[in-house]
Structure 1
Amino acid sequence: MKKIGFIGLGVMGSAMAQNLLKAGFEVSVWARRPEKARPVLEKGAHWCETLSECARGRDAIITIVGFPQDVREVYFGAGGILENADQGTFLIDMTTTSPQLSVEIYAAAIQRGLHAIDAPVSGGDTGAKNATLSIMMGGDQADCEACIPLFEAMGKNIVYEGPAGSGQHTKAANQIALGGAIAGVCEAISYARATGLDVQTMLDSISQGAAGSWQMSNNAPRMLKGDFAPGFYVKHYIKDCNIALEQADEHELSLPVLQLVRDMYTKLAAEGMENDGTQTLIHYYEKEHS
């Protein structure tokens, strides 16, 4: 597996494609906005003028685009991946999307002699840059195992979750857990400020104990610096919350914490913060308690 087509060069996709290049893969890229490809092209990637060109002649095609409708378009649309990929190609969607859509892609791929894997990731921009992403694989186990050398160029915690759609269900569980974690960090900071504590000292004190988390170690420092650049967009987290809540409804589950956090982010997005990073949740507490 050497020739890789890569579609989706946002905050995470660009860094992931660059890590594939570092690992010695031949990477061809396509993006709706060609300017986003510049950092990857400077590292040696090949530019494709069309999506169909990017899909042809590859051993594997990786997609990490924004929303489920974008996934559907690049796979099923005219000039898309399914109608242009060579037989035997591995189709790896690393977008966080609907589990049902992943199953639909898998079924369509089987009919065309292709191998489809849903492999969403967690770890944000830091994990993408450092090739330490967690990668959650769904699909045929043999197909997933065949792609592990590819995944090892981008991540560290690479786990087979089960049949098609299982990677997406695992990512939904990740986003459910994330909601409470980041809200908890914001509440701890808000409490520290209200009671006159030095916030950094408080975080240093609790981050190595039972309250410690990735969110506390990575997003809390950004909150304190006023750095709200996106490692992961608010608009994408809202999308992920909605996917998880839709799945919960189908299984008659109540997720009140996730729903509350989703509503907080929705309010911030309506105020113009949809393109900020998820650490911008601290603004909700500042507005509510100012």
Structure 2
Amino acid sequence: MPESPSKSSRPFVIPQFTPRDYGSFFMAGALCATISHGGMTPIDVVKTRIQVDPAFKNLGFITGTRHIITKEGASALLTGFGPTAVGYLIQGGAKFAGYEFWKKQFVEIAGDQETAVKYRTAIYLGAASVGEFFADILLTPLEATRIRLVSERGFATGLVSGFTRLAREGGVREMYSGFLPILCKQIPYAIGQFTVNELCHELVYRSMTEETKKNLSASANLTISLGSGITAGFAAAILSQPADTLLSQINKGHGPKGSMSYRLITLAREAGFRGLFAGLGPRMIMTAGLVASQFIMYDSIKHALGAPPGLEIHKED
């Protein structure tokens, strides 16, 4: 993750992270993800209902929120909070630690600073994708539980009962029925989140003189991190929106019988371009807040845990 700009002027050194360092990365990622995703639960509830509930088809975020409160009560906006918090606690830790791990591996494969800098975008893309893949293995069953709780009122009373019912009635196959669409959603999301954030930091710092970088105030650094995170959040939302819609449909039980790829293609054709991007507005708001807050919390928690800074491979000029 991008750190203080003053560190970018240091000689290029590949850090030798210890298991304790990766444990700190995992803990920081876990906490920032579960706090941010848990806090965004009401927005995600409205977004999911717009995607899968015919009664919400023509509603926007504000009207959808009012409709839920009027018909089901304000507490309905917290539906799925349990699996959201637990799922992203696990997934967030694995994703952030995985990104740090795989970025270092790919830099070592590059062999030298010049090659790593030249192919830095490919390194960001690869590290984000591979880290996200393994994190999604842990996330998928809990995400399936969350979507079922949100989209099917009365399915269960909470995380444990919902997870148990899903496992009992559908088994492993049903719990992982959304694995492919989750990959299609989360990998583009992670690419937007990490790659765009890295490139935004690089773009801002390259426009500054060394003297300006060294004298940046804490508020200026926070502004840069916030702006980069928001931009990365918008990119993550747009890249992952079609698969997010299809994931909600799959977990709702929509679509024909057959292989997952066939179901996804059929649902995508039925939804059309407009349908695939239904709910994008509230999701962009949610994702911008998620990504920006996660990066700020991640760096703060890492610092509090005494973790070393992440590996930087930004181009200097």
TM-score under structure 1 length normalisation: 0.28
**Higher-strand-fraction structure:** 1
**Higher-helix-fraction structure:** 2
